[in-house]
Amino acid sequence: MAVQERTQVGIIGAGPAGLLLARLLKLHGIDSVILEARDRDYVEARVRAGVLEQGTVDLLEEAGVAERLHREGLVHDGVEIAANGRRLRIDFRELTGKTVTVYGQTEVTRDLIAARLAGDGPIVWEAADVAIHDIESARPYLRYRVAGLERELVCDYIAGCDGFHGVSRPALPESVGQTFERTYAFGWLGILADVPPCSEELIYASHPRGFALASMRSPTRSRYYIQCGLDEKIEEWPDERLWDELKLRLGSDTAPDITTGPSIEKSIAPLRSFVSTPMQHGRLFLAGDAAHIVPPTGAKGLNLAASDVHYLARALAAHYSKGNDDLLRAYSDTALARVWKAERFSWWMTMLLHRLHPEASFEAQMQRAELDYLASSRAAQTVLAENYVGLPF
Ligand code: APR
Ligand code: PHB
């Protein structure tokens, strides 16, 4: 017989979506248990993107986990787009009155884990074979194994925050769902190094050799990416070759400011746009990467996880405090309305900045014209800025 426990909300996944949801629920007096497949060290070491929209910062503040973020995060008033031999600055503050904060997702995750373990409730690390049952009933439950023991967690609601490869999305009956997907014929090769960044702000570069991005984690830690082929291997990119390529693609203005050094992390990731609808069935609610993926151009992944769990926590709070389920019923539509706009922006920015077509093609001319237009039009720059700093939620 499995050991049986009970909670109000069973959360699958201790990524940013699951952890932030648990924290927001706690502030509303709602209990949860988080089941995480990996161990704590693994989750705390994962390297991911690092740009927080102002709305995400506000939400982390509301959640009481923004102290270190305010101390160590870097507030950026704009970004640069390097293309056709020039650098164009998009001034967020001037165009929208808003800013973004550069603070690694790794750090956000650590802060959320620390808050959770300081008394909010359990995280079951290394929960194996999590299986979702009876989501169409009023008493759904999760079955899992930990340290070889079978356990059952009976819940009022289940939150599927287990990322793209989790078990939650497949638990929605196929007949109710639809998926939308776009894959790209290239990936991003990323490098993390303990060297000062080459510029105070991020630089997104469109170059005939392919896209490049200069980003950072702190005044002493840089994060760079280049567009690469999907069949390329990390071993083909020793640090020196990667630094040389970055210098070429970021351009001769920037190259002298690039400090090189040994990589502390290097990886290749494919790019994907993906949305699964609806984001809810019965008592199972999906949030974050479990329901949608964006390509990293524009850094929307974590920010979308934040808006999802904001909507979900608010809806669960209305249920428990007022017995009102209107927001729960509207959750999928509410979340998806924002998701689709971020999907559009991430796709647009990806298509604008990557090398997709031969130099002499019509499509390459269209890209060039769009970049030219961006450089010459305040309206076009405002569109980019408004989306980059994040649409309201
Ligand atoms: N059982 C339990 N936990 C699981 C399972 C499972 N079957 N499958 C996956 N998980 C865990 C993963 O180990 C991970 O810790 O769920 C968590 C999902 O976290 P993320 O992948 O970080 O997804 P999410 O919380 O939605 O965060 C979205 O993270 O991946 C980035 O680009 C993404 O920035 C975005 C943000
Ligand atoms: C990052 O710093 O990892 C980063 C920044 C901006 C992006 C994507 C990734 O658009």
pLDDT at 206 over 80: yes
pLDDT at 212 over 80: yes
CATH architecture of the domain formed by 3-47+103-180+272-349: 3-Layer(bba) Sandwich (3.50)
For helices 378-388 and 326-353, the axis angle rounded to 10 degrees is: 130
Query: Would you state the pLDDT for residue 278?
Result: 98
Other C-beta atoms closer than 10 Å to the C-beta of 45 total 12
Residue 47 is predicted with a pLDDT of 82
Residue range 324-355, pLDDT digits in tens? 999 999 999 999 999 999 999 999 999 999 99
Q: Residue 244 corresponds to which tokens in the numbers above? A: 């040389």
pLDDT of residue 240: 97
DSSP alpha helix (H) spans, 251-325: 301-322
Crossing angle of helices 301-322 and 16-27, rounded to 10°: 30
For atom 1 of ligand 2, the residue with the nearest CA is 49
Position 42 scores a pLDDT of 97
Closest CA to 354 of 298, 289, 274: 298
Asked whether the predicted pLDDT for residue 1 surpasses 80, the reply is no
Mutate to test the pocket of ligand 1, among 36, 106, 113, 143 (most ligand atoms within 8 A of CB): 36
Does the model's pTM come out above 0.95?
yes
Q: In terms of DSSP bridges, do strands 212-218 and 203-206 run parallel, antiparallel, or are they unpaired?
A: antiparallel
190 CA from centroid of ligand 1 (Å) = 20
48 pLDDT more than 90: no
Q: Quick one: average pLDDT of 200-218? A: 97
Report whether residue 43 contacts ligand 2, using a CB cutoff of 6 Å. Answer: no
Instruction: Among the bound ligands, name the one nearest to the CA of residue 19.
Output: 1
Give 292-330 pLDDT, tens digit per residue.
999 999 999 999 999 999 999 999 999 999 999 999 999
Report how far residue 23's alpha carbon sits from residue 269's, in angstroms, rounded to the nearest whole number.
Answer: 30
With contact defined as beta carbons under 8 Å apart, do 346 and 293 qualify? no
Given pLDDT bands bounded at 50, 70 and 90, which one contains residue 168? very high
Q: Residue 321 Cα, ligand 2 centroid: separation in angstroms?
A: 38
Q: Measured from the CB, is residue 49 less than 6 Å from ligand 2?
A: yes
pLDDT of residue 187: 97
Residue 56 reports pLDDT greater than 80: yes
- Rg of the chain over CA atoms, in angstroms? 22
Torsion over CA: 262, 264, 269, 274 (sign): negative
Q: Where are the alpha helices (DSSP H) in 181-256?
A: 239-250
What would you measure as the largest C-alpha separation in the chain, in angstroms?
A: 69
Q: Is 51 close to ligand 2, i.e. is its CB under 6 Å away? A: yes
Mean pLDDT of 159-185: 96
Cα of 200 from ligand 1 centre, angstroms:
30
Ligand nearest to C-alpha 47:
2
Length of the chain: 393
Report d(CA 106, CA 124) in Å as an integer: 19
Ranges assigned E (strand) in 41-140: 51-52, 74-76, 78-83, 86-91, 100-102, 123-124, 128-133
- Pairing between β-strand 203-206 and β-strand 78-83 as defined by DSSP bridges: parallel
Mean pLDDT of the chain: 97
How far from 124 is each of 64, 90, 127, 174, CA to CA, in Å? 22, 44, 6, 29
pLDDT of residue 55: 97
Binning pLDDT at 50, 70 and 90, where does residue 49 land?
confident
CA 359 to chain centre: 32
Residue 45 has pLDDT above 80, yes or no: yes
| Position 2 pLDDT exceeds 90 | no
